[in-house]
Each structure stands twice: as C-alpha cells, then as structure tokens.
Structure 1
Amino acid sequence: MSSPLAIGAVSAVLRNLLDDGLIEAGNSIGVTVDVSAIAPDTIDLDDAEAPPRLNLFLYQVTPNQGWRNAALPSRSSVTGERLTNAPLALDLHYVLTAYGRTDFQAEILLGYAMHLLHERPVLDREAIRRALDPSPLDVTMLPPAVQALAASDLADQVEQIKITPAVMSSDEMSKLWSAIQSHYRPSATYQASVILIEGTRSGVSPLPVLSRGPRDPVTHREHGVFVNPDLLPAVPTLFEAEPQFSQTGARLGEPVTVTGARLAGSGHSVLLRHRLNEEPFELPPDSVSANGQSMIFTLPDNPAARQALAAGQLSVGLRLLVNGEPGPRETNSIPLILAPAADFAGADLQRTANVVTVELEASPQVRTQQKAVLIIGTTEAVAAPRSNASDPLVFSFDPALPDGEQPARLRVDGADSILIDRTGDRPIFASDQVLEVP
C-alpha cells in the first residue's frame, strides 16, 4: 500500500511522463515546452516571453467505489482497538491544459499529450520508480517536496494506476474554470485510479479457532455452538437500570434494579463509569435472580464513594463468570442518572441588599469540571468557580429572591436532585427539598 505521499507522487509521475514525451512536440513547433503541475490561476498569461506550456492540475479527489468498503470495520466495536489498517482508496481527477502564444501551438501540445496518455494507460511500477528516484541523478539536488515523494511506496501498492479519459460537459467545464477563476484554454480531463493509502500502525489479528466450545475431557469432542431456545440475547446483556419508586435518578445509598438476560453465574461485579473517571467504580450486587433476568445493587454512601463517584449520567456494566466459561465476561453498558443530594438543611443563606447568597454542600462531591445550578422556586443561579471539589457550592441570586420557604433543587451536569416524593399514592414535593429564604 502507498503512504499519504501517494497523491503527490501520482502528479509527479504524470508530469515526468509528459515532460519526457513532449520533446517531440517541442521539436514540431520549434520551441521548448514547459510542463508544470500547478493551479491554472497561478500561471502568468501576460508574459510575452513565456514558452508554450502544458499544465496538469488536480482539481478533484473522490473515493473509489470498488475499494471504499474493503477491510471494514477497522476497529473493534467493543474495545475500540485497531484491528486492521483499512486502505483509503481514492480516484484522482486531473485537467490537462495547453497554453500557446501563436496559432495552433496549444492544439499541437494537447494532441501530443493526449496521444501520449492514450499509449500509456497504465503507470507501470518501473516507470513510477524511475520518475520518483531518477538514478543516477542525486536526489538531494531536487526540491524538498520532490525528494519526499520517493518514500511514497506508490510502485509497491497492490493495484496498478490506470489513466482513463473522463467526459466533462460544457456546463461542468464552465463551472470548473469559473471556480479556478482563470481564462479557459484547450483542455482534456483524466482520471487516475486507484490510489491506496494505508496506515502503518499495528493492528490485532485473531488466532485461529481450535474448537467450537469446550472439549469433553474424555471423548475430546467439541461441545459445539450453544443454542438457547428463546429470542433473548445469547450472551449476558443488560436492558435497563431503574431507580427505586421510578425516580428520575438514584442517589447514594439507594438501591437500583437492573433487568437483563443471562446474568446467572458467579463473581458478579457492577461497573460504574463516568466521563470524569478513568477507571470504573466497582461494587458487588446485593442479589442476582436465579433465572438471571435481574439484579439489585445499592449505590454506596460513604466518604470514598462521595469522592470517587460524580453526579450526572453514569454507564452501568456487569462483569461475571458465566457457568462453564474459562474467564470472566463483561456485558454491555446502560445509562443511569446519579442524582445529586444537596444538604439544604445545613445550607447558609445570606441576604445583602438585593442579593441572596446560598452556600451548601452536595453528595457526591461536585467536581470542578462540572456545572452546578441551584434552582429556588423558578429562579436559578450558577455556582461560582471553585479550586477544589471539597469546597462548598456558592450561588448568588440577583435580583433578590422573595423571602419565605420555597422548593429547591440542585442540578449538576443536567441531573437534578430528587424534588418529587413518589413514595405515596400521589407525587408531592419532598419536604426536605426546601430552602428558607431570609
């Protein structure tokens, strides 16, 4: 496969091919012909001393339809690690333009160039190597960009590069030259296909399968594929995490019921992940149903958990050892809202002129990277910046709030503290979610 230098290498090889072949064209018109590979708008058309020119311009790069789905997927859907170096397959689209100062010069140049590309529809590997590494010429004498193209590995890619004429209507040609912002000259379009650019990072290649399932220790026969007579997933899978009383979130110290399939086994460990934690927080479940369709775990409420966990959206996973398997297996992840719990009873409220300041603690600790909002009644305020997660949250309400007792809730990263009490026959505002505004 080629390196990312391959696009420039193709242009360099084509320019070299045209430069060598147009010696005969120069003899026909009696002057030396310049061959370039630059944007048409950079060519000086007002220079009366400029020789005739043939210019190759790469105006478009498109994905190759035949190769674009090769070697996919290139990363594991579970771990995200690289499995293969999927090639970037590209087609290059060129416009070949002839410039002349006298009658018929441009037409002669374009005719020779088109005939040359017609006779050489494939860039063979030897021609590519000669163009990019013109031995015995010292490569260090060439410009740095040309020197770099020698490392493109273009000649070693599995597909040879084919040059085919492309059809472009007068409307498309007009749009192209309008976009280039240059005057039209006799031109022909070509497509170079296919360029395969591949990375060199190491991937993961699985080992061959030795047996389909465990072998019987006596007969040494394969167990075969496990078949379950139902429509449930074949591997341990989590479906939903539900806080108690159908609340919008779970607080520290509260149980969570998880439904799923194939959860029976041993060595269960609940994995709680948060965007601000590099490693998951692990805890054992309280119970797992005998049929493997549900489990219950309680969020710990201790100093370690208040520092390690963070309010907001968690992802819940489960690690377990399935009966009959040699090693533990990890399930999929499902969302769970960890609701913050504000210490409204111990909050410090101060009124200064028209400003009410509220200082309170929250559980779990609100990280400095998290956004905290306090809502009293229908008015909200954002917490002031803090240097440490252990510092109390400070909110300033301006204009001032009306005095008296009002319902309050703390919102951390979009997760609200539990304002509504659903333990009774009808929902009511929780009695402990209030603040007495002075």
Structure 2
Amino acid sequence: MSNYYAVAAVTTTLQSIIYQKVIQEIQGVNVTTFPLDKARENNETNQINLFLYHLSPNIAWSNHHPIAQRKRGENKKSPLGLNLFYLISVYGEKDNEVKSHQLLGKVISLFHDLSKITSDMIEAATSENLKESNLHQQVEQINITPLNLSLEETFSIWHGFNAAYRPCICYQVSVILIDSQTTINIPLPVLSQHNKQGNIVQLGFLPILTAIELPNRQSSAQLGDLITLRGNNLDKPGIYIRVTHNQLKHSIDITPLATEKPDSIQIRIPNQEQESFNQWHIGLYLVSVIVKETENDIQKSNDLPLILSPKITTLTPKETKAGPLKLRISCTPPLQSKQKAFILWGDQIFPTRKRSHADQPNLTTITCKIPLVSQGEYIVRLRVDGVDSIPINFNTVPWEFEPNQKVVVYDN
C-alpha cells in the first residue's frame, strides 16, 4: 500500500519518463504539469504538458469490504483504490504545428511500448523530490491504458477550462492504492483463561518489526551500510538483533547502536576492514529482535527479510578492443561453495568460474569468458544466487555508475 503522496508520485514518475525518453531524440523539450488554461505561457520552446484532469475510485477495489481484518480481532479500513486520468497536450516551438505533431507521435509511441509503471521507475523519479512517497513499495501493478474518447468528450474537457483545443491524447493510470491512516482496533492482551483462579497467563509486550530501511532507498544492503529497523517496543532492556542466512542457516547476533527510541533501532553491517566481516555472506537474511531478560526468559519478534548484495572490488580489463573478452573480477563478501555466480554484461548474462585465495580469504576471484563484445561502454554487475551487485556511486550528486564496474570497448 502507499500513503497520500501516491497521486503526486504517479505524476512525477510520468513526467520523468516522458522527459527522459523524449529528450533522447528531440532536444529543448519542457515537460510541464500545468492546468490546460495555463499550460502555454510562451511559444519559445517545445512543450509537453501532462495534466491530471480526473480521478475516480477503482470499481474492483470499491467492491472490497470496507473493513479488512489484519489479524484475529484487529480491524482496519481497506485501502482506497484510485484510477487517475491524464491529458497530454503538445506545443511546438514558435507555434510550429509540425513540431507539435512530432512530439505527440513520440508520446504515443512511448506509451504504446510502455504499458505499466514499475517500482524502479517510481523510486528513481521520487527519490529526491518526494522522499516521503512509498508508492514504489505497492505490490499491485500500475497499468497505463490509452482512452478512446470521442471528439465531443475531448472538447468538453478543454471547454471546461476555457482553453483553446490542442492535439492531445488521454490515458488512464490504475490502480493506485492509498492505505488508511486510521488507528487499528487492537484488543488488549488476555490476562487469564476461562476466568479461573490460579496461574495468570500474562502476555508481555513483544518487540514488533514493521519495516527495514536501507540507505539511498536501495533494494539490497551493502557492506558498511547503516540499517534502520522500524517497529514497536524496540527500547526494551537486554535487546539485540539476530540475522539468519536463509540458505546457510548461519546466525549472527548484533548489539544495536545506542538508541532510546521505541519505534526504531539501527545496526551497521561491518565493512571489509572489520574483524566481524567474515561472518557475513551474500544472500537473503531473516532479521528479528531478541529480548533476553534472564537466561531462561528469551523472547523473539517477527522476522523481516534483508538482502546482502555482492560488491565488486576489482575489475579487469577496464578497456579492451572489440572481439572475445575474458573478464576477471574480485568480490566481497567471499562466495560460499554452493553459491552460483553470473556476470551481467549490459543486458546479457554469462556463467562464471570462481576461485578463492588462501592468502586472501575475504575475497573471491571470478572469471568470465564473453564470446564477442562490440564497441561501446558497458556496466558490469555480479549476480550471486539472484542478488545483483549495486553499480551506483551514491556519494556523487547526481548519482553515477561506479568507475570500477565499467568497461570501455573500442573498435578494432
């Protein structure tokens, strides 16, 4: 589900998609989100205007029961499903109608190929200006569908804003789910069973994890990352964090960083220079909070997933000629014997051979043979058991690809 920033997040994402795709072929284009009567302030530039002219409840979601049961005895309002309706109009520089038709054709072509908005698109568009948005976490797919409006229906939209008609096209974007902000009705814990005297069944207030937040809104964690755990009752004494590798069944107990907040605690994954680094392995972890009040009184919270990605430390060659290529990569954390690795070369995937070093137990060297590479600049990623390395340098503004994960191929 998403919060009340969802509508703004959709508009921002569509605006970003249109700009990024159109600017590749047509220079000097502004993508705006003005009302129809204020869309064209001057005629000096090419302009595409994206206007949200209507919203309506999604019929399928409206048929859901208004009250949803989350747990036994806990009720909360169901999410609100919305359809968003956008009108896209175009304007050529200096009122050049041929140019405006070119812009319209580009937009139509774009959304003919792009029928849905992915979570990656939303996250990329909202990471800076709409950080509070969590629409990228919505599970329900968001589709883009062209509307078959008659000429009269289109005229009525323009007439409603006292604006002169322009060539345009309309789209429906659905479904957007906005979660209810009302407080959940949670019953109190049971103090006794069957109202009998004797032993009292006392339920403590256990820690509960609700979310794991990674830096830079990453989909997976990296060595050295600061991890924030959100939840309830996280300030109990004797608390620590347990992370368990889903495949290796290897657990690590971590003391959280100093905090007195009941709704959040933080841990830091060690980097390669720290001694505890060799306890961590690539893949899926289950994270839980453990409360140890006495030796015999140990309580455990629910589990949440955390993915640790591989990190490429060295890559050779950085430059090469077109033709067959042999890549050599070093990565951390070191791969385990049963873990499978692949190299992602641009949009292609290739198998690898891996080798560990006795003198460098914290590294794994991987080699990969690519039959034929052509001229260009390629981003190289490492995939281990379905988890990809992150090729982005988050320390630059704007973000850039890591130079040590890039290979330039020259023509012979």
TM-score (norm 2): 0.44
| Greater share of strand | 2
TM-score (norm 1): 0.42
